[in-house]
Amino acid sequence: MTCLPGTGGPSLGLLLLGFGLLAIGFALVARKRGIRAMWASLVVVAMLTVSTLSTTDAHAADGPNGAGTSQDCPPGTGGGTGSGDDGGDTGSGDGDGTTTRYDVTYAPGVGGTIDGDTSQRVRAGRDATPVTAVPDASHRFTEWSDGVTTALRQDRDVEADINVTAQFALRQYTLTYTAGPGGTVGGTSPQTVDHGTDGTTVTAVPNPGSTFVRWSDGSTTNPRTDEAVTADVEVTAEFTTITYDVTYAAGPGGSITGDADQTVAHGSDAATVTAVPDTGHRFVQWSDSSTTNPRTDAAVVADISVTAEFALITYRLQYSAGTGGSLTGDDDQSVDHGSDGTAVTAVPDEGHEFLRWSDGSTTNPRTDTNVTADASIAAVFEINEYALTYAAGTGGTLTGTASQTVEHGSDGTAVTAVPDTGHRFVQWSDGSTTNPRTDTNVTGDLSVTAEFAVLEYTLTYSAGAGGTLGGTTPQTVEHGSDGTAVTAVPDTGHRFVQWSDGSTANPRTDTDVVADVSVTAQFAVLSHRLQYAADTGGSITGDADQTVDHGTDGTAVTAVPDTGHRFVQWSDGSTTNPRTDTAVVADLSVTAEFEESEVLPLHGVYADELTDDTAESVSFHNPGAAEAEYLLVPTNTGSQQNQVSVGITGNAPLTGADPGGSAALADPHSADRRDAVALVEARRGGVGPGTPLVPPAQLASGAVPALGDSMRLNGNLNHSCATGTAITGTVQGVGSRVVIVTDDNNPVGGFSTVDYDDLVETLDLAVASVTDALGDTSDIDQNDRVVVVVTAEINKLAPPATTATDMVLSRPRDLLDQVECPTSNVGEVFYAMAPDPTGAVNSNIRTLSFVKTAIPRDLTHELGHQIVDAARLDAGTPLDSTWLGEAIADIALDAVFYANAVGLTPLQDITLSDLTTGPNASRRVAAFNTYINANYTRYRPWLQAPTRNPVFAATPSPASRGGAWAFLNYAADRIAGGSLPARTAFLKSLVTGSTTGTPALASALGASPTTWLEQFAVSAYTDDQTDAAALGTTGPYAILSWNFRSVFSGLGGYPLAVAALDAGGSMTSTYAPTGGSRHIRFVVAAGSTATITVTSLDVTNPSVGYRVVRLR
């Protein structure tokens, strides 16, 4: 199209517009508000008048790329050179050469008005004139509809139309009701009431003993309801207290002290009064039966009138007998004040005598006269006493009390006759031999002496078997004297050992004898020493150091090899184990010899690791009667590539392949993913350079799009927040979890309505399945759906004649806002390839059926990425662009497979038969081919070359992605412990982790992944392998969700590369970092021992673990 009018002069319409603007300018000048408008009008008229050039002249007037050059002009641009309101701007306007203007409209909501110009037309980049939102008397201003909260506003640097409404709200008042002392308020307080409306009823409720008087504003209405409220109300309910008469009187025999006639407020206490009895009287009670005196009536709630009651006094005389006697007469008497009691007599028991009464009186009998008080009196009696005297004769002493005073019939305390050293007690002088002695039931005085005598001892000596004695036996010796010498004489062939009391003196003489002695001389046959020791690699059980009599047998000892060792022989050549040396005639010293060796039981596992570059060897002994087969699996768990050598000696011949394999090329998808994450990490939480598309391009927030809706989005799929490419699309499908939008510029031959309906149904299930398995998206566009944009922008990413490409991509930048990333679409967006059956884009034909089949698979993978990205952005933790991020996204495919493969779930060890037989076979096979086969396809090259392909790859390849996917299945199955919820929880913990890659895995496992990686490498062979038996179906060497051997049998066979070590063979291989492994078989003949030597050749401090499994 051309940008200039097609004639040589201005049209009549343009001239009329110019003069109209001139008139408006003069009108504004008259109001002193439009000087610029008048000048703009004059300039427009001048320009239109001068504009008499022909089309040809106009072209000649402009230079190259000038405004007059014929070109395709954007809608709304005039293409000419126009004057702005200051005479110096050139820009695109309304098609007439003028500068762009925007409509600025201010409207009042209910409850107010606008002060100022409510409808303005403002030139781009200029300021609107101020306006003020003015509420009416019953309202208040809240905010403008665009969130501005100041009533006075002036929109500056206007760059778009503005249409806002001032929002008002009714004024509200607070009604506050409180209660003064003596009551409460029932009803709601405080209350918030709109202007002019009524409050709710409140009631002043007096406490017991009080009464309501009035409200503090003078109102006596109760209950009260404030109506037609136009101001805050704050009032208090006032109450007053009730009073009562309290009267006290005295009956005959007493009087009252205190205030006998009182007036008391409700609930208060009366003053204290006292009932005072006259002489000879006592207070009994008040007429209300209270016996409190003095009395204080507390918390009075009624009138009180009571009388104090009195009675004459009587006294009680009580008599009792103490120990040693009794009483005759009335021992408990009641006597009126001033009267006499009756006589009582204190009668002593036998052996006692009356001493006095407890009040000091010695009168007996006694009669108490003129009684004026209670009395309680006891008769006191006294018992007879005797003297006990003890003494010690020569040769001893006494312990205990030697001089005692004892009451009649009582017992003395114990005394003991203690002989001096070398003496013994004989008897007491009264003939008693009791010692200690205690004299009981004493009835008279006693005096006795302890008698002692000097001690004598017997020395008795005897000979045990194997010898005789020389000297006197037995001997009698006084205390402290010496015996005579005796000698132990051994028989021929024996030796003296010791006396039975441990003495080795021979001859022996017992001196300073202080006790009997009876000892036996002990002899022994001549003996020999047997010593057993263990060399490195084992220990000895049993008595390792024995002393054995000549000609007798030792006890059994056993040479016990340490773990990883076996017993070879004793140093004297004997291979007997355990061994018992018999008929010993000489000393013996032998050492058990061991060699390093493992004896693995069937399906047993040996594990070790290299920690330096020193060759490490271990032997495996086959004690059985048949050949044994083993599997050796070295695994490089370090971060560096490493060349590892494996050699063997002592093994039997075994032929087999020596596969090497090669590392797969880097995965373009993973590289693209890393670039996408790097962009987000650089821009999140900041304000970066870039320009949003104009008009704006992003998802609408908070609304579910409808069929036929148009969307304007950034379709530029490069990794940039600086520039975007606007695409316009139309909503073609809306489901419960997905919205499908088609780029309006897609090639012909795209999806039909039926295709979109099919895709909505398929993708709804996919999104629901993945979010159930990994967690939901953040839903930043608040429509509870993901948006799939079918656009040829994806097609453009593939160079001409390219078959392999990503069918669906997500861009994590779309989860940022446009402050952080101006080109963000601000929502959960996926970009899907458009069908292109004619190859219109880059000559790459993309058939409808091919694209329709591939979109669900690739969208599922990308959704896995997006769930991780959303969780990490929400938590403020790093996004994951590592191998783990890809593995989580690949595991998402499993979730959708299970949702479509009727009746199949994780932990079922799915076989080929499970997929291909039964009533649901067709659906299961379709689900496998759509979702899982891609993972199997990537896992195959890892199995074919596990040595060269890592699992935790720094730069993932398709093969390493396959290994990581299989490992993540392995780890989830193992963590699950048979529980599907536990398996899901583990996967979700990887999504929400605070770190990325291997550290995130370690956190979720609660352990270093190193051991898990080594065991996973072994499981690649043992899982569901017949020779591995239970080792391949449970525990750390099994993968429980998939029977890979079975399923791969339907895909051309299980592809694991297995090597073999021939007799005395060796092999050196380069192992990829973080998971490079090799599976090597070897055999050991019956009764033989084979030694494996593993050496790290490239890395000084390697991290290489190796495991050996006995298969048969």
Q: For the residues of 235-299, what is the DSSP string, one character each?
A: EEEEEEE-EEEEEEEE-TTEEEES-SEEEEETTPPPPPBEEEEPTTEEEEEETTS---SSB---S
pLDDT of residue 59: 29
Element of type H or E holding 894 = helix 883-900
**Quick one: DSSP state of residue 700?**
P
Q: Would strands 456-463 and 517-525 be described as parallel, antiparallel, or unpaired?
A: parallel
Share of the chain above pLDDT 70, in %: 90
**Helix, strand, coil in percent for the chain, rounding step 5:** 20, 35, 45
State phi, psi for 347 to the nearest 5 degrees: -115, 110
- Average pLDDT of the segment spanning 348-358: 91
- Average pLDDT of the segment spanning 823-833: 97
pLDDT in tens, 1065-1099: 999 999 999 999 999 999 999 999 999 999 999 88
pLDDT in tens, 227-283: 999 999 999 999 998 889 999 999 999 999 999 999 999 989 999 999 999 988 899
Report yes or no: 222 and 212 within 8 Å, Cβ to Cβ: yes
Statement: the pTM of the whole predicted model exceeds 0.85: no
pLDDT in tens, 268-291: 999 999 999 998 889 999 999 999
Query: Tokens 């009335």 map to which residue?
Result: 330
Q: What letters, b where the CB count within 10 A reaches 16 and e where it falls short, cover 974-984? A: bbbeeeeeebb
Give Cα 549 to chain centroid, integer Å. Answer: 68
Contacts of 320 (CB under 8 A, 6+ apart): 327, 331, 376, 377, 378, 379
Contacts of 995 (CB under 8 A, 6+ apart): 877, 878, 1003
**Quick one: DSSP state of residue 557?**
B
pLDDT of residue 254: 95
Calculate ∠ Cα 978-981-986, nearest 5°: 90
Q: What is d(CA 1064, CA 1005) in angstroms, rounded to the nearest whole number?
A: 40
pLDDT in tens, 985-1009: 999 999 999 999 999 999 999 999 9
Query: What is the layout of strands, in order, in the sheet containing 565-570?
Result: 545-549, 527-534, 588-596, 565-570
Report yes or no: 604 and 624 within 8 Å, Cβ to Cβ: no
In the predicted model, is pLDDT for residue 713 greater than 80?
yes
Amino acid at residue number 960: S
For the chain, what's the residue count? 1112
pLDDT of residue 688: 74
pLDDT in tens, 596-636: 788 899 999 999 999 888 999 899 999 999 999 999 999 99
647 burial (CB, 10 Å; 0-12 / 13-18 / 19+) is middle
Q: What is d(CA 137, CA 112) in angstroms, rounded to the nearest whole number?
A: 9
Q: Which two tokens stand for residue 771?
A: 């979010």
DSSP codes of every residue in 816-840:
S-TTT-TT---S-EEEEPPPBTT-T
Q: What is d(CA 963, CA 883) in angstroms, rounded to the nearest whole number?
A: 10
- Average pLDDT of the segment spanning 570-578: 95
pLDDT in tens, 930-942: 999 999 999 999 9
Report yes or no: 639 and 1075 within 8 Å, Cβ to Cβ: no
Helix (H, G, I), strand (E, B) or coil at 862: helix
pLDDT of residue 62: 32
Q: Which two tokens stand for residue 209?
A: 């003993």
State phi, psi for 990 to the nearest 5 degrees: -70, -35
Q: Give the distance between the most distant pair of CA atoms in the chain.
A: 170
Q: Please state, rounded to an integer, the average pLDDT across all residues of the chain.
A: 88
In the predicted model, is pLDDT for residue 116 greater than 60?
yes
Closest CA to 810 of 866, 873, 884: 866
pLDDT of residue 393: 94
pLDDT of residue 659: 59
Q: Which two tokens stand for residue 647?
A: 């050699």
In the predicted model, is pLDDT for residue 8 greater than 60?
no
Distances 953 to 663, 670, 681, 878 between C-alpha atoms, Å: 11, 11, 21, 18
State phi, psi for 528 to the nearest 5 degrees: -125, 155
State phi, psi for 714 to the nearest 5 degrees: -85, 120
In the predicted model, is pLDDT for residue 29 greater than 80?
no
- Average pLDDT of the segment spanning 1015-1031: 93
At 497, the pLDDT band (50, 70, 90 cuts) reads very high
pLDDT in tens, 538-568: 999 999 999 998 889 999 999 999 887 888 8
In the predicted model, is pLDDT for residue 87 greater than 80?
no
The helix-helix angle for 1009-1022 and 997-1005 (nearest 10°) equals: 90
pLDDT of residue 666: 65
* Strands of 465-513, DSSP E: 467-471, 475-478, 486-490, 494-499
In the predicted model, is pLDDT for residue 1014 greater than 90?
yes
Give the count of beta carbons closer than 10 Å to the beta carbon of residue 143.
Answer: 17
Report yes or no: 148 and 154 within 8 Å, Cβ to Cβ: no
Query: Tokens 């694209």 map to which residue?
Result: 851
Q: Which two tokens stand for residue 889?
A: 């996204």
